[in-house]
């Protein structure tokens, strides 16, 4: 298969394999009625996945799994295992006591889908086109993550049906990974020495350290927004008047607009440079955080447009961070570096996801997203410093061409 076909196959695996990620979030209203759980309890249906992802990523980092094992096999096995955990929940579980452990294991498995997919995409992309290639991959992640909202919004499936559908989609992703995906020529092909310390020592290098700080600021905002935007919309003054269901609005604003943002961000990263693109996206999403109280009180049409802009901006820079780290990290340990980056970033999401409803209980949902604003600000400052650093080693594609 050509490089383009390989990148397309990897993106398809991300769409399909990550359909299980937010499958429980898409059916929370049904679960609150059937299981009698509160919003504080329901948050753990997402939070446990994030914690599981961190645990899986840390284990993968300690073993250098993404660099020492055949990555397409890791990708296939991880997608299949995540699908199996989700279908087990749909078939056998009747309460939180069974759901939380299975959601945790789902997160562990997904740590072998997303970071490994990034490494595989980078392996099929030269530096000059890697920004757009990883932008496409993050767009696939965005579409896959929001796909359960589409399933829930379009059909009359019960929550077990939504989960079963997401599981079937995830299993299909595993098959595609096993049959079609292979590693490419642009990263170190030979398995390196076992070196789990690289996950720590890369922070001693200015380039990777600044990229990681930028990514952490981005992650502080991203998953908390994705988790709580349905509740924010329902609580808004226009919530009852939104066209169609909130689930479809979320899919359109965070999913479809998010994919557009990823593609635009990837193109801009190759055209204008990594740092300017990341800073622009962080600035827009940060302004959306600050403006969210005003959007909360706006009419339905304006609120939907606002959410679409936010949904595009909040994810547009994600591929930029992955691209920048793949270009500045030791090429022998790119998989380890990307996995460590996502492990720490997802650990931060557990905190921000928890903080948003806590703040909402105090000041109301109108002001709840203000707690996310420091993330884009810190991220933008870090990427400004990254762009201004002395030229050494790998640099953004625009400057290195």
pLDDT in tens, 383-392: 999 988 765 4
Please choose, from the candidates 367, 268, 285, the residue with its C-alpha nearest in 3D space to the C-alpha of residue 320. 268
What predicted TM-score, i.e. pTM, was given to this entire model? Answer: 0.79
Q: Compute the distance between CA of residue 158 and CA of residue 17 in angstroms, rounded to an integer.
A: 21
Taking residues 169-174, report their average pLDDT: 96
CA angle 99–58–187, rounded 5-degree value: 120
pLDDT band, residue 169 (cuts 50/70/90):
very high
Average pLDDT, the chain: 88
**SS in 3 state form for 103-127?**
HHHHHHHHCCCHHHHHHHHHHCCCH
pLDDT band, residue 146 (cuts 50/70/90):
confident
Q: Compute the distance between CA of residue 366 and CA of residue 144 in angstroms, rounded to an integer.
A: 28
Taking residues 110-137, report their average pLDDT: 87
- Tokens 């889908």 found at: 113
Check whether 303 has a pLDDT greater than 50.
yes
Check whether 294 has a pLDDT greater than 90.
yes
> Six-digit token pair at 11?
């993106």
**Neighbour count for residue 363 (Cβ, 10 Å):** 12
Please choose, from the candidates 18, 42, 47, the residue with its C-alpha nearest in 3D space to the C-alpha of residue 349. 47
Check whether 280 has a pLDDT greater than 50.
yes
> Six-digit token pair at 248?
């479809």
Check whether 191 has a pLDDT greater than 70.
no
Taking residues 334-345, report their average pLDDT: 83
Q: Determine the pLDDT at residue 335.
A: 75
Q: Determine the pLDDT at residue 390.
A: 66
Q: Determine the pLDDT at residue 399.
A: 38
**Neighbour count for residue 248 (Cβ, 10 Å):** 17
Taking residues 255-269, report their average pLDDT: 93
Q: Determine the pLDDT at residue 30.
A: 84
Check whether 19 has a pLDDT greater than 80.
yes
Q: Determine the pLDDT at residue 79.
A: 97
pLDDT-wise least confident of 65-74, 114-123, 159-168:
65-74
Which segment, 122-131, 192-201, 249-258, is predicted with the most confidence on average? 249-258
Q: Compute the distance between CA of residue 184 and CA of residue 117 in angstroms, rounded to an integer.
A: 12
Q: Determine the pLDDT at residue 237.
A: 81
Of how many residues is the chain composed? 401
Check whether 306 has a pLDDT greater than 70.
yes
Q: Determine the pLDDT at residue 156.
A: 72
Q: Determine the pLDDT at residue 253.
A: 92
Q: Determine the pLDDT at residue 187.
A: 63
- Spell out the residues 6+ positions from residue 399 whose beta carbon is closer than 8 angstroms to its own: 273, 391
Taking residues 190-212, report their average pLDDT: 80
pLDDT band, residue 243 (cuts 50/70/90):
low
- Tokens 């990708």 found at: 75
> Six-digit token pair at 279?
């800073």
pLDDT band, residue 333 (cuts 50/70/90):
confident
Q: Which helix (H) or strand (E) holds 36?
A: none
Q: Compute the distance between CA of residue 161 and CA of residue 228 in angstroms, rounded to an integer.
A: 23
Q: Determine the pLDDT at residue 391.
A: 52
Cα 51 to the chain's mean position, in Å? 14
pLDDT band, residue 88 (cuts 50/70/90):
very high
């Amino acid at each position: 298969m050509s490089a383009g076909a390989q990148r397309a196959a990897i993106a398809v695996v991300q769409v399909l394999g990550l359909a299980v990620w937010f499958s429980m979030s898409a059916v929370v209203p049904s679960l609150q009625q059937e299981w009698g759980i509160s919003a504080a309890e329901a948050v753990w249906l997402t939070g446990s996945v994030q914690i599981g992802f961190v645990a899986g990523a840390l284990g993968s980092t300690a073993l250098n799994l993404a660099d020492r094992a055949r990555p397409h096999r890791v990708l296939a096995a991880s997608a299949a295992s995540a699908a199996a955990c989700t279908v087990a929940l749909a078939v056998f579980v009747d309460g939180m006591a069974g759901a939380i452990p299975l959601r945790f294991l789902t997160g562990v498995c997904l740590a072998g889908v997303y970071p490994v997919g990034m490494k595989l995409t980078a392996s099929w992309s030269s530096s000059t086109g890697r920004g757009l290639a990883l932008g496409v991959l993050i767009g696939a992640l965005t579409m896959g993550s929001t796909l359960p909202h589409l399933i829930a919004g379009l059909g009359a499936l019960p929550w077990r049906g939504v989960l079963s559908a997401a599981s079937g989609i995830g299993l299909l992703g595993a098959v595609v990974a096993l049959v079609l995906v292979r590693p490419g020529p642009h990263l170190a092909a030979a398995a390196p020495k076992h070196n789990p310390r690289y996950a720590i020592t890369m922070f001693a290098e200015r380039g990777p350290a600044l990229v990681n700080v930028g990514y952490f600021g981005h992650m502080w905002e991203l998953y908390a927004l994705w988790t709580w935007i349905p509740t924010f919309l329902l609580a808004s003054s226009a919530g009852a008047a939104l066209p169609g269901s909130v689930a479809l609005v979320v899919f359109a604003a965070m999913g479809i607009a998010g994919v557009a943002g990823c593609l635009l961000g990837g193109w801009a990263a190759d055209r204008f440079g990594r740092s300017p693109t990341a800073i622009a996206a962080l600035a827009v999403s940060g302004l959306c955080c600050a403006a969210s109280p005003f959007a909360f009180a706006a009419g339905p049409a304006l609120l939907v447009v606002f959410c679409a802009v936010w949904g595009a901006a909040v994810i547009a820079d994600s591929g930029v961070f992955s691209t920048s780290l793949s270009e500045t990290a030791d090429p022998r340990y790119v998989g380890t570096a990307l996995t460590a980056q996502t492990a720490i970033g997802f650990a931060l999401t557990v905190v921000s996801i928890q903080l948003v409803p806590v703040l909402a209980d105090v000041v109301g949902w109108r002001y709840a997203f203000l707690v996310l604003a420091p993330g884009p600000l810190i991220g933008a400052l870090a990427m400004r410093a990254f762009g201004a650093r002395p030229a050494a080693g790998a640099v953004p594609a625009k400057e290195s061409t």
